[in-house]
Structure 1
Amino acid sequence: MAEEIRAEMVANVWKVVAKKGDTITDADPIVILESMKMEIPVHAEDGGVVSEVAVNEGDVVQEGDLIAVIELPSNG
């Protein structure tokens, strides 16, 4: 099962923190967006392994754009 992380607003991708293959927790930022001079960390709802990062530093994302995909651990 996978979780798609999507942008919640129009913003610039200021920094990409996670990369494909990284194991993350729900507290780890995947990317940091910048909007109106504010830095907004984007987190997964659950921990897992990053299977895709769909943005690069300097990109502009629109609301709903894919940021990353996290493969969630199976429960059974």
Structure 2
Amino acid sequence: MDCTVTEIAVALGDLVDAGQPLVILEAMKMQMPMKAGMAGIVAELSVRAGQAVRGGELLVRIEPQAALAREGGPA
């Protein structure tokens, strides 16, 4: 199903908790928050507000905090 990104709730580099809303999508006049599946740091934002997206498309990539700590990044 095609959706429209109505809001980006995070920024690149933000620390997020599991379950935290990342992006709000709208389809058929219903809004659906897309939530983080794990805690970590927002490493990539692949969408912008107003953009149309399809199921399976990458919206946000999160790097786990443990992986970043091993690489010497933010803990």
Q: TM-score, normalising length from structure 2? A: 0.83
Runs of at least 5 residues in structure 2 that lack an aligned partner in the other structure: 71-75
Over the matched positions of the two proteins, sequence identity in percent amounts to 35
Runs of 4+ in 1 over 3 A off after TM superposition: none
Deviation for aligned residue 1:57: 0.2
Does the residue aligned with 1:74 lie in a helix, a strand or coil? helix
Paired amino acid for 1:36 = M
Distance 1:19 1:28 in 2: 13
Higher strand share: 1
Quick one: higher RCO (CA 8 Å, sep 6+), 1 or 2? 1
TM-score normalized by the length of structure 1:
0.82
Higher Cα radius of gyration: 2
* Structure with the higher helix share, 1 or 2: 2
Q: Which runs of 5+ in 1 are unaligned?
A: 1-8
Superposition RMSD on alpha carbons, in Å? Answer: 1.5
Count of matched residue positions in the alignment of Structure 1 and Structure 2: 68
Partner residue of 2:55 out of 37, 58, 63: 63
* 1:47 correspondence with 2:39: yes
